[in-house]
Amino acid sequence: MLNRLLENIRLALIYLAESGVKARRTSNRVTSSYGWKHVCEDWVREFRSDCGGAYVSNGCFILACVAVGYQVSQPAPGVYLNITAPARPTAKRTTLRSMIRRAPRNTEPHPLEPIARAAFANCTHQDATTLSHYFAGAYVRGGAKAYHTVARDVLGYMESQGKLTRDRIGWYYLTPEPDAPA
């Protein structure tokens, strides 16, 4: 699991270093970190096929951005970053909009899934807030925004794979394994 996390971060760092994206003075509120994560995956698929897989989780993309000095601002479906696309794409002429496309459904487990499952072992229901506090290791007042974004990413990813169900209030529950007795 740690290797997958490190690989996600490595791919994001390669993208940030080689794609030509630059820091800007203010946050880019046109595209959130979730949109940039997809741009990163598409860029890796197109220009760095030697890197193996191209999946990068939103949380790992945010961590890579913070590690190289980009600033994070208020949460959206992801967070906003002070990042801008290169003036001239590095390999072929494309627009940012054409680079953002839906990634194919991934059958691999999320790199943070084992930690999320451990949280469900402690408490049968979770939401993004409780899971973010579990990720943080304690109650973090005011500083848990990045953890909250990562928790939403993990919960949404696991729900899209059918591993979680959500009730009408917003609590997530583990879906029983098909071969497990009810």
**Residue pLDDT, tens place only, 55-99:** 888 888 888 888 888 888 865 556 777 777 665 444 444 444 444
Report d(CA 15, CA 43) in Å as an integer. 7
Of the CA atoms within 13 Å of residue 31, those in its CB half-sphere come to: 18
Q: If phi over 0 gives left and psi between -120 and 50 gives alpha, with beta otherwise, what is residue 103? A: beta
Q: What is the dihedral of CA 30, 34, 38, 39, to 10 degrees?
A: 40
**What does the alpha-carbon distance between residue 142 and residue 64 come to, in Å, rounded to a whole number?**
21
Tokens, residue 109: 């487990």
Burial (CB count within 10 angstroms: exposed 0-12, middle 13-18, buried 19+), residue 23: middle
Per-residue pLDDT tens for 113-163? 888 898 888 888 888 888 888 877 755 555 566 777 888 888 888 888 888
**Bigger pLDDT: 22 vs 74:** 22
For residue 36, give the nearest of 120, 153, 167 by alpha carbon. Answer: 153
pLDDT at 1: 64
CA 118 remoteness from chain centre: 19
In this predicted structure, what is the pLDDT of residue 89? 45
Bigger pLDDT: 173 vs 161: 173
Give the global pTM: 0.47
- Judged against a pLDDT cut of 60, whether residue 46 lies above it is answered with yes
